[in-house]
Amino acid sequence: MCRQVAHKKRTTAIPLGLLLPVTLLVLLTGLPLLYIALRAHEAGLEHALGLVFRSRVYDLLLNTLKLVMVVTLLSSLIGVTTAWLVERTDLPRRKLWNALLTLPFAVPAFISSYSWISIFPGLEGFGGAILVLTLCNYPLVHLPVAAALRGMDPALEETSRSLGFNRTQTFFKVIFPQLRPSLFGGAVLIALHMLAEFGALSFLNYETFTTAIFDQYYVAFDGASAAMLTLVLLLLCLGLLALELLIRGKAKYAISRKGSPGMLENIALGRSKPLAIAGLLVLTVLAAGVPLGIIGYWLFTGTSSVVHVHDVFTALTTTLSFGLGGAVLAIVFALPLVFLAVRYQGKLATLAERLPYFIHSLPGLVIGLTLVFFAIRYAYPFYQTTLLLLISYTMLYLPLAQSSIRAALMQVSQQLEEMARSLGKGSFSVFVRITLPLIAPGVGAGLALVFLQIMKELTATLLLRPTGVDTLATKVWEHTANAEFGASAPYAALLILVSGLPVYLLTMRSFTQGSKQPALPLTAEKADYEKVNHPARV
């Protein structure tokens, strides 16, 4: 039994059962950095610098930054507008509109892009990428901003109005500052998604770092060039994470009173109501109606739409098994990691807790290239095995499980565990019989979140899947790459259906319960809270 100290009643010695998995996790999360260093060393310093400082890299940097800035700006404008209309106006059927506006969250971006390209082949390049990716990503701003509006203290607005400010002045002087952490947090998340996006941009023929890395590896077979492009992409990710930390550090929220959101006055739209409804209807049709409608069209009319039931069923079961396996493995790693971070102090606990968030910001393509490199050279029996693929899923989505479990564990009193130990129970017995049942809701939320993300994952799966094994996402990719839109339709429809139903249910639940939740600052604690209580917002 570990020796206890008086300060905050935390143990000083880390049990071996926690130390081993956490150490393994730290080593795994450090592999992308080691991969880049090894490839640079193999290429030589002069050649590596030449690969980084060349005109092609500058072009890719310009393309990537343009995409990130424009999509983030447009998505933020749309997300704030829709959140305001749903939460603060007398818009009819607001609950239904909230569900419709978040429905694009269930449609993978590469499916949306192939839907648009199949009917408008000329919709390529920068313009097409802006249209499709904005329609796919604005819910990432809509959801947190809507939650912030629901949790805002009405006394702030009442005070502003009593001082003589009109509605417009009140919005910019009082309301908007309270929305900034949620707005900027969603914007940073969209920007990270733009850095990681591959499938949609490949269909839309718009080249960024991610598509160029894939081409260098798969087409040109130039691993050194791919690694150096990965280095630049990694630096961009670090820059965005630094921006998120800056925003988080300055965020301040007013604490809302219990039940106060119900006192907020809904603004009458008046003559603008038909215009607002028409705008939301057009947005919903473009963002969700077009992909769903085109998939239905190709499913029933496409010349290549002969459905091989066995292939579809196999892809579905493979997707579900990969999703469940990856989610379980993520939970297995997240449990000791979170327990170490919450119950113990020290540099190892801090490092182990933050590293997965850094890896989560990297594209799946980078994780895939890293594991391919090390598996071929140092662990060839694991190359193209299900285990290696599940490890990649764990590295990519561990923070989703980690945050959910952490929030649940923070609510468990350590005194309960200490009392059980004082009765002669071992640490493992205490965890299984006391702690685990109490954190079960957080474990379930993390499991569901990772499961949903894995089903939609494409790039790491393309690189690491066992030979001859396909998921719904890879089948959509393979058929659409050959312009077989009808053949891809059954797989796309199943993928949206499987992921869309949980997203819809969780969104409706968050809408009905959101008024009871306080608004929190954009901190790690808020991320923990949101992913447990409102998983659809992730």
Give 3-17 pLDDT, tens digit per residue: 443 344 444 567 777
Note the pLDDT of residue 283: 93
Q: What is the dihedral of CA 230, 232, 235, 236, to 10 degrees?
A: -100
* Segment 241-252 mean pLDDT: 63
CB neighbour list of residue 156: distance below 8 Å, 6 or more residues apart: 174, 175, 178, 254
Closest by alpha carbon to 62, among 242, 244, 236, 238? 236
pLDDT at 534 over 60: no
Distance of CA 224 to the CA centre of its chain: 29
Residue 3, in any domain of the structure: no
Strand ranges, E, within 23-119: none
Where residue 516 falls among pLDDT bands split at 50, 70, 90?
A: very low
Where residue 158 falls among pLDDT bands split at 50, 70, 90?
A: low
Note the pLDDT of residue 4: 40
Distance CA 222, CA 131 (A): 32
Least confident of 283-292, 322-331, 496-505: 496-505
Note the pLDDT of residue 9: 42
Residue 2, in any domain of the structure: no
pLDDT at 460 over 50: yes
Note the pLDDT of residue 316: 92
Give the residue with greater pLDDT, 394 vs 23: 394
How high is the mean pLDDT of the chain? 77
**Where in the sequence is the domain holding 483, given as residue range(s)?**
13-261+269-537
| pLDDT tens readout for residues 384-438 | 899 999 999 988 888 878 777 876 777 676 777 677 667 777 666 777 777 777 7
Q: How many domains does the chain have?
A: 1
CB count in 10 Å sphere of residue 495:
25
pLDDT at 489 over 50: yes
pLDDT at 535 over 50: no
Look up residue 263 and give its two tokens. 């006192």
Note the pLDDT of residue 285: 92
| pLDDT tens readout for residues 130-141 | 999 999 989 888
* Segment 322-331 mean pLDDT: 92
pLDDT at 108 over 70: yes
Task: Confirm if 152 and 261 have CB atoms less than 8 A apart.
Answer: yes
Where residue 527 falls among pLDDT bands split at 50, 70, 90?
A: very low
- pLDDT cut 90: percent of the chain above it: 13
Residue 33, in any domain of the structure: yes
Where residue 528 falls among pLDDT bands split at 50, 70, 90?
A: very low
Note the pLDDT of residue 211: 86
Residue 529, in any domain of the structure: yes
pLDDT at 243 over 90: no
Distance CA 404, CA 379 (A): 32
Where residue 533 falls among pLDDT bands split at 50, 70, 90?
A: very low
* Segment 194-222 mean pLDDT: 81
| pLDDT tens readout for residues 111-131 | 888 889 888 888 888 999 999
pLDDT at 251 over 70: no
Distance CA 87, CA 505 (A): 19
Least confident of 32-41, 193-202, 282-291, 510-519: 510-519
* Segment 209-236 mean pLDDT: 78
pLDDT at 307 over 70: no
CATH number at residue 302: 1.10.3720.10
pLDDT at 51 over 60: yes
Strand ranges, E, within 304-411: none
Distance CA 95, CA 507 (A): 10
Residue 402, in any domain of the structure: yes
| pLDDT tens readout for residues 371-388 | 988 999 888 888 889 999
Least confident of 22-26, 349-353, 411-415, 502-506: 502-506
* Segment 82-101 mean pLDDT: 85
> 166 φ, ψ to 5°?
-80, -175
Give the residue with greater pLDDT, 500 vs 56: 56
Note the pLDDT of residue 389: 93
